[in-house]
Copies of this chain bind each other. A is one copy, B any other.
Amino acid sequence: MSKVKETSTNFANKMALADECPEAYASNIIGGQWTLVICSWLMQGKLRFSELKNLLPNITERMLTLQLRKLEEHKLVKRTVYAEVPLRVEYELTSIGYALKPIIKQLEDWGVKHRAEVGG
C-alpha cells in the first residue's frame, strides 16, 4: 500500500483493507443483503423486474431497484430495456457475475451444514 503523508489526518483509510485484500473486496461487492439471492436466481437465466420481485417476496420495489443498480454498477448483471408497451426490462448475469456460482454453491453447502450443527 502506498504511504500516507503523516501530516494528513488520515481520511480515506476506510477502504484500505479492501484495497489489499481480495476477500474483503469481494465481500464489499456481494455482501449486500440481497446480492447473492438475486444472483442465485439469475443463474438460471434472464428475469424481468417483476419476476424477480415475485421471487423475492420480502423485497420492496425500491430495494430491488437499488440492488439491481448496484449489481449493474459492479458489472455483475446486464440490464436490457425493450422499447415495448408495456415496458419490458430484463436482467441477466455477466460472465463475472456468473462466476459467482461456486461461491454460492459453497455458501449453500456451508449453510446446510451450519444449520444442522448449530440449528439456527
Please report A residues at the B interface, Cβ cutoff 8 Å. Answer: 13-14, 16-17, 21-27, 29, 31-33, 36-37, 40, 56-58, 74-75, 95-96, 99-100, 102-104, 106-115, 117-118, 120
Interface SS of chain A: helix
Q: Hey, which chain B residues are within 8 Å of A37, CB to CB? A: 17, 21, 23-24, 27
| Oligomeric state, in copies | 2
Contact (Cβ within 8 A) A26 B103: no
Contact (Cβ within 8 A) B16 A36: no
Q: Hey, which chain B residues are within 8 Å of A14, CB to CB? A: 58
Give A104's nearest chain B residue, CB to CB: B23
Q: Hey, which chain B residues are within 8 Å of A33, CB to CB? A: 27, 31
